[in-house]
């Protein structure tokens, strides 16, 4: 997947250079070519191709959270220390 993306960006880069140095081309045209033929479509394709991996990772996180909740492994405090009373009890004056 990455080799195709690298090759596509190489081709788009060469197209942009050809546009910039052409007698009838311009640098602005080269920039537009680079973004409209290269960066935009490639980012969309890479996002769509990464969807199964993101879905798999999300399911793994949800399964791990469900498993931890059902086994009772969730602790009320993250430090594992016993709860302590930080505020002393209020005493009545006689």
- Domain ranges (residues) in the chain: 2-58
Contacts within 8 Å (CB) and 24+ apart, 12-15: 12/37, 12/38, 12/42, 13/38
pLDDT above 80 (res 72):
no
Give 84 or 38, the one with higher predicted confidence.
Answer: 38
In the numeric block, the tokens 């537009």 are attached to 32
What is the rounded CA–CA span in Å between residue 32 and residue 53?
31
In this prediction, residue 73 carries a pLDDT of 55
Confidence of residue 14 (pLDDT cuts 50, 70, 90): very high
Whether the pLDDT of residue 46 is over 80: the answer is yes
Residue 65 to residue 27: CA distance in whole angstroms? 52
- What one-character DSSP code corresponds to residue 82? P
With a cut of 60, say whether residue 77 has pLDDT above it.
no
């Amino acid at each position: 997947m990455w080799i195709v993306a690298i090759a596509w960006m190489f081709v788009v880069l060469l197209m942009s250079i050809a546009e910039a140095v052409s007698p009838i081309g311009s640098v602005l045209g080269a920039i537009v070519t680079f973004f409209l033929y290269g960066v935009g479509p490639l980012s969309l394709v890479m996002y769509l191709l990464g969807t199964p991996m993101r879905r798999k990772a999300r399911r793994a996180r949800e399964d791990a959270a469900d498993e931890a909740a059902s086994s009772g492994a969730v602790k009320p405090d993250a430090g594992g220390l016993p709860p302590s009373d930080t505020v002393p009890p209020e005493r009545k004056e006689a």
